[in-house]
Structure 1
Amino acid sequence: MHRPPSAETEVAAELADVRPELVSRYSAELPGARAAVLTRLWRALAYEPLPWVDRRERGREGLTLRLADGRRLHGPHADPYATAAYVTAVRLDGTSYDDPARLLTGLSVPHGASLATELGHSVASLALSRAGQEGHSQEAPERDWEWEQRVVDGHPFHPNCRSRPGFSVPEQLAYGPEHRPVVTLARVPVRARECLVTGEWPQGMRDGDRLLIPVHPWQAEHVLKRPRDPYDEGIAAHPLMSLRTLAVPGGPHVKTALSARLTSSVRDISVYSVGLSATLSDFAEALAARMDGLLHVTRTLGAATADSPDLAAVVRESPQVYAGPGERVVPVAALVTTGLPRSPKWQAEFTRLALTVGLRLLELGVALEAHGQNLLVVVGPDGSPVRLVYRDLADIRVSPARLARHGIPVPELAGRIVTDDVPALRRKLLGSLVAGALAGTVGSGPALRGALEAVVRDLPGTVDLAALGDRALPTKALTLMRLSPGTPGDQWAELPNPLVGEVF
């Protein structure tokens, strides 16, 4: 039977046309990319509440999954907090699989075919990303986007860590931050009276009575179907790790609509989030002032939408404005490139800072989505973590009841961002901060246990801190979510708590 070409071979063929000198390096990176994605997938299979997994049996020789149809899937013990690729193959009823896409195809689970395609793209794009690296200077970057370019492997725990379906090889090379391009944003003119605008839309993005909405070139070509305007000079910018947010040299960060599925979701900008952006920004700035200088939140300067999630943009200040003399502002996802997290002492200091800020905000009534992309740390001249910077308020959660209990004025908010549900608030923070940013920084379950044990006893006692010591830690069930297209919103898994017992 004829097998259609895989994403790996398709990328190789495109690469041979546009960058033939990278083909051999790309091929050499494929085995490591497969292992990296397979390791992430194995974590999901080991811990997420997948309906077709009957039970999990842990023995001396590894982990065995008993599937609902009677088959057995066997692999190594799964460290839910490991970031290194340690799974090179698993066995499904005696057949060995080293390719995550083929494994998922072999499992034949509902909606698995589409996810298998995405996993194939993830492997191929990850190999391409690694092949394009020429090494980084040992000097600390001077520009904010250069930190973002160091994050080559994408999300540390998502199997779709580098999935970019719909992006050709030339487009990946032209727009992916790890390839270090300069991207020219188009400026689409829309009459101001036809737009929803919050905050102060920059004067430099206006033309008389029209707003000039920055548009990503991929969006302009594939979604808006707009040919390039030869009279539009555009905005030269550098992509950050989210791909759709870009840094303007000497200026702000611009978040653009990008209606493509990257990792979990389609990257547009909802009318809802534009409408709330100014209120959220003012509220977060006032709340950060209560953090004794330990937290800054980047201000949203302006947001606009032409009444469409496909044509919208948010302009916010760069986190670098919060760096003092000799200090660096480093995205948490890029910390591993600094070597700082190799020190247990540094791990403990960073964990203390992050938990102090996160839990204090949660007590007041705000749960941050504090993963390694949204959370940044200000590093002092001696390398110590000094304070935090948070960006992108679109997915935080706000509890009116907790705010009122502390005498904090409740902002005029509505919709999914507002909740008094305590488990939901805790999942939002602990799932992103502990099981996400902290775990991704230290890189393993034993290291996470050491960092947490070093600091939790000294933190101010709150009911949320007590919940941190419960039997399990929440994390988004990222693979289950991709296999459940009819179920909206987040779904959750429970991970072994390093503070309670053995991690795996």
Structure 2
Amino acid sequence: MHRPSPPEAEAALADELSVVRPALSAPYARALPGARAAVLTRLWRALAHEPLPWIARREPGRDGLTLHLTDGRRLHGPHADPYATAAYVTEVRLDERSYDRPARLVDALAVPHGLAFAAELDHSVASLALSRAGQPASGREPESGWEWEQRVVDGHPFHPNCRSRPGFSVVEQLAYGPEHRPVVELGLVPVEDCLVKGEWPKWLRDEERVLIPVHPWQAAHVLTGVPSQGSVAAHPLMSLRTLALPDGPHVKTALSARLTSSVRDISVYSIETSATVSAFAQDMAARTDGLLHVTHTLGAATSGSPGLAAVLRESPDVYARTGERVLPVAALATTELPRSPSWLADFTRLAVTVCLRLLDLGLALEAHGQNLLVVLSPTGAPLRLVYRDLADLRVSPARLTRHGIPVPPLAGRTVTDDETALRRKLFGSLVGGTLGATAGSSAVLREALESVVPDLPRTADLDALLHEPLPTKALTLMRLSPDTSGDIWTRLPNPLVTRSF
């Protein structure tokens, strides 16, 4: 059966770029091979480690890894380090044919739902090349938190759709993507019958009406015809839909676009519980001896629709003292700091100690490189952590009760006593994400963890961290399973399982 080829996003973006920003055409073309390798490396990690039903078995050999497909074909590539962030895969071979473009590889695999995924990979490569093409050759060190966030060019360190932004034109990517360093004008939409939690500032009110900040992409593609009343300029952060306002606070806007994996909005339930979750998380942070701060949710508002809502929260910068810097963990890769084994050990000790302490008490953080920030001393030493975006915490009533901590009035997916779910939430984000991406390889991650494990209190959670495969989201399988709701998980080799502690 003939299968149509995936859309050639690389060429389409090049054509549009030649019209709207011709000065970037040559840098974009030069960035394409590196972007293909970056996305192909992420894809190969998924093929090597996720429970994809059309892979019968995996056979490591002296010259790399061979995947035996259920239809008899063989896919061959290099040995796959599950924690490698460098783009080391430039091509893989399906039977006798080599592929250097991830979209064409997935198209050739002809797996269920692969055509849509191939199109997303094509878009991811093109957008990543565009992101890299627009970077200055060099520059000063950032002075503010939002400038640090805009230094993160490559997006998710392990997701093949690291820069996939379907529905965004080149003009829109340049106008809204944080890596392009724009200033975004948020529209202010007046709402009369509005649910508000916390303190909504006076400047976002018009007598009895609440003014909800709206992302311009949302206004153009989702809330068409909805009038705004003025605007406010803001700097986009890593998540694209969250922006830093001129006077400091951050605003999380509803942006109903597919970014990386899923279409995200702001649910009415998250608005209703925002003050409760914020107060609870700050109370829990106070139990870490000053090693963790949680950004306070200042206010939240919704019109009753996930497509028209916003959350205001503190900037992480408020937790920096004189001379200190606060930057998201994802931005550490843009510095020299992780290259020092002693620095990486100190950071690992801080992150693991704080997060395991909270997990034991009953709070599992989704501590990936976007949510977790680190406070650095004037000399660059990791001092404290800051956590933001409370939408995906997990709370264990049983653990809280065991420690005599009041259980907050929460419901739904946030609340669980399932040990596997709690550990997946933390280990998948902290070890498989934050620490793995900061280390950049299994060997470096192993060294960093080995240096801190002997000093940690022995708990059942630590034993699981030491002796079991590490959970991580099966991001590619999730994209190839559109009829399956929720997260799908896989397990990665644990660099510590061969050691005795």
Please name the residue that 1:209 is paired with.
208
1:257-303 Cα offsets, whole Å, 9 max, x none, are: 00000101112111121111110000111111111000000000011
1:198-231 Cα offsets, whole Å, 9 max, x none, are: 11112211111100000000000000113665xx
Partner Cα distance (1:46, 1:226) in 2: 47
Matches within 5 A, 1:319-338: 319-338=316-335
1:387-434 Cα offsets, whole Å, 9 max, x none, are: 000000100100000000000000000001000000100010000001
Please name the residue that 1:14 is paired with.
16
Please name the residue that 1:92 is paired with.
94
Q: Is 2:288 the counterpart of 1:291? A: yes
Q: Is 2:365 the counterpart of 1:368? A: yes
Matches within 5 A, 1:78-477: 78-139=80-141, 141-191=142-192, 194-226=193-225, 229=228, 232-477=229-474
1:223-259 Cα offsets, whole Å, 9 max, x none, are: 0113665xx3301000001000000122210000000
Q: Mind listing any 5+ residue stretches in structure 2 that lack a counterpart?
A: none
C-alpha displacement of 1:4: 7.2
Partner Cα distance (2:145, 2:473) in 1: 28
1:330-368 Cα offsets, whole Å, 9 max, x none, are: 100001112100000001000000000000000000000
Alignment check: 8 A CA contact 2:91 2:98 kept: yes
Return closer, same or farther for 1:228/1:143 CA change in 2, 3 Å cut-off.
farther
Return closer, same or farther for 1:4/1:43 CA change in 2, 3 Å cut-off.
closer
SS at match of 1:167: coil
C-alpha displacement of 1:137: 2.2
**Aligned positions, number:** 497
TM-score between both structures, scaled by the size of structure 1: 0.97
Moved more, 150-159 or 127-136: 127-136
Partner Cα distance (2:161, 2:180) in 1: 18
Alignment check: 8 A CA contact 1:221 1:227 kept: no
Please name the residue that 1:485 is paired with.
482
1:43 aligns with one of 15, 25, 45: 45
Partner Cα distance (2:157, 2:473) in 1: 13
Alignment check: 8 A CA contact 2:127 2:164 kept: yes
Alignment check: 8 A CA contact 2:6 2:119 kept: no
Amino acid of the residue matched to residue 467 of structure 1?
A
Partner Cα distance (1:227, 1:271) in 2: 19
Partner Cα distance (2:485, 2:391) in 1: 17
Partner Cα distance (1:135, 1:23) in 2: 16
TM-score between both structures, scaled by the size of structure 2: 0.98
Alignment check: 8 A CA contact 2:7 2:122 kept: no
Partner Cα distance (1:201, 1:227) in 2: 21
C-alpha displacement of 1:143: 1.4
1:407-466 Cα offsets, whole Å, 9 max, x none, are: 000000000100000010001000000110001111111000000001011111111011
Partner Cα distance (1:195, 1:136) in 2: 46
Q: Percent identity?
A: 73
SS at match of 1:258: coil
SS at match of 1:44: helix
1:66-85 Cα offsets, whole Å, 9 max, x none, are: 11111100000000000000
Partner Cα distance (1:176, 1:472) in 2: 36
Return closer, same or farther for 1:434/1:108 CA change in 2, 3 Å cut-off.
same
1:291-318 Cα offsets, whole Å, 9 max, x none, are: 1000000000011111111001000010
Partner Cα distance (2:334, 2:253) in 1: 27
Alignment check: 8 A CA contact 1:294 1:387 kept: yes
Alignment check: 8 A CA contact 2:348 2:435 kept: yes
Q: What do you get for the CA RMSD once the two structures are aligned?
A: 1.3
Q: Mind listing any 5+ residue stretches in structure 1 that lack a counterpart?
A: none
Moved more, 345-354 or 245-254: 245-254
Partner Cα distance (1:133, 1:477) in 2: 31
Partner Cα distance (2:207, 2:68) in 1: 65
Amino acid of the residue matched to residue 81 of structure 1?
Y
Partner Cα distance (1:219, 1:406) in 2: 44
Amino acid of the residue matched to residue 69 of structure 1?
D
